[in-house]
Amino acid sequence: MRRKKIDNPFAERLAAFAAKVAEKKLDAAVVFNQANVRSLTGVDCDNACLLVRPSCEPVFYTDFRYVPAVERTAPWLKVGDIKKVGGKKPLKLGKAKFAKVGYESVMTHAKFLTLEKVFPKAKFEDVVPELTALRSVKTPWEVERLRAAVRLNDEIWSEARGKFRAGMTEVEMARIIKHLMIERGEGEAFETIVCVGRNAAECHHVPDGTVWNGREPVLVDMGVKLGGYCSDMTRNIVPERPSRLYKKVYALVLEANMRAIAAAKPGMTAGDLDAVARRFLTKSGFGKEFGHSLGHGVGIEIHEAPWAAKKQKTVLKPGMSVTIEPGIYLPGNLGVRIEDLVVITEDGCEVLSASPK
């Protein structure tokens, strides 16, 4: 097969994973999860298996439908027929012994049963922690993509907001956003959330026929996909004359958001970051009303590691993306969440979201 020498932005992560496979004294590791395969190769394919062996060239197994796409997007990859790792026969690769094989413990049981046929003598070991740790640190190439996705999301928000009118329903407002995302990007990274008034007290309210009267607050949680990477942001339309309670809650959520952004830096745990916002909101009397975690990583998937949640021990590293999204929810009354996407840097964090808050 013809293989061109071109720049491979995933080479470093794939090499780091191969080093982990060697370090764990595995004879091979098989990666099936679509996002994991993509994070190691750049190839988005829903029927693939990446076989990684220490000091051997990795093999990208897929079926004939995807071979042209793999050769085009990742010409450095050796391609094999996926039947070899998905059938009933043991995999034969020269004299390779597969005594210890890394696998993803999150796979279905049915898939695991086929793996046992492909590697009949193998002992299996979970490599999800290694894959997750590598994927959670974005490469400069990936950070550039996140920046572009967030920039577009900011633009779409500002344009959509200008089109919102009193009398529109949540569904209509969400549709405006969705259409812009399809026109300018690769569509929604997740279903856009638009909450009018008290609907914002439900964190993941599904837009419905609720009509905006133009005076109530509106909460919008949205993320466009671009270049294969997601974005995620929550903003609120604050009414000209908000209630005193809304004003107070908004100011507290904004301060929790700003405090967490100011605190975010490498070396601290994701749990410590969550605690910065949580301690502040608890001291302000709204600890229980902040019922979810502070944030999550964003990348190929909208929700991925690291998890900025209570007691999370993951240590933040430069290159990790994480949302900062404290919220206060008062059922039957109001809800406010302010969400920004940041990337941890050498000495703090870079706030990617630029929409006014």
Minimum distance of Zn ion from residue 304's CB (angstroms): 11
Minimum distance of Zn ion from residue 273's CB (angstroms): 14
- Nearest-angstrom CA–CA distance, 296 and 302: 8
Exactly one of 323, 327, 336, 353 binds Zn ion (CB under 5 A); that residue is 323
221 touching Zn ion, by CB under 5 A: yes
Q: Taking a C-beta distance cutoff of 8 angstroms, is the pair 287, 253 a contact? A: no
Minimum distance of Zn ion from residue 221's CB (angstroms): 4
In the bound state with Zn ion, the residue whose beta carbon lies nearer, of 104 and 339, is 339
In degrees and rounded to multiples of 5, residue 295 shows phi and psi of 180, -175
In the bound state with Zn ion, the residue whose beta carbon lies nearer, of 232 and 289, is 232
Kindly report whether the peptide bond that precedes residue 9 is cis, defined as omega within 30 degrees of 0.
no
Minimum distance of Zn ion from residue 212's CB (angstroms): 20
In the bound state with Zn ion, the residue whose beta carbon lies nearer, of 18 and 338, is 338
Task: List the x/- string, 337-356, binding to Zn ion by CB under 5 A.
Answer: --x-----------------
Angle 237-239-241 (CA atoms, 0-180°, nearest 5)? Answer: 160
Q: How many CA atoms lie within 13 A of 347 on its CB side?
A: 0
- The DSSP element (H or E) to which 28 belongs, if any, is strand 28-31
Q: By C-alpha distance, which of 96, 91, 87 is closest to 120?
A: 91
DSSP 150-219: HHHHHHHHHHHHHH--TT-BHHHHHHHHHHHHHHHSS-BSS--EEEEGGGGGSTTPPP-SPBP-SSS-EE
Minimum distance of Zn ion from residue 234's CB (angstroms): 5
Q: Which residue has the tokens 């640190």?
A: 137
Binding range to Zn ion, per CB under 5 A, among 26-34, 158-166, 219-227, 305-313:
219-227
Binding range to Zn ion, per CB under 5 A, among 88-96, 178-186, 195-203, 232-240:
232-240
Exactly one of 130, 232, 289, 301 binds Zn ion (CB under 5 A); that residue is 232
Minimum distance of Zn ion from residue 28's CB (angstroms): 35
User: Residue numbers of the site for Zn ion (CB under 5 A)?
Assistant: 221, 232, 323, 339
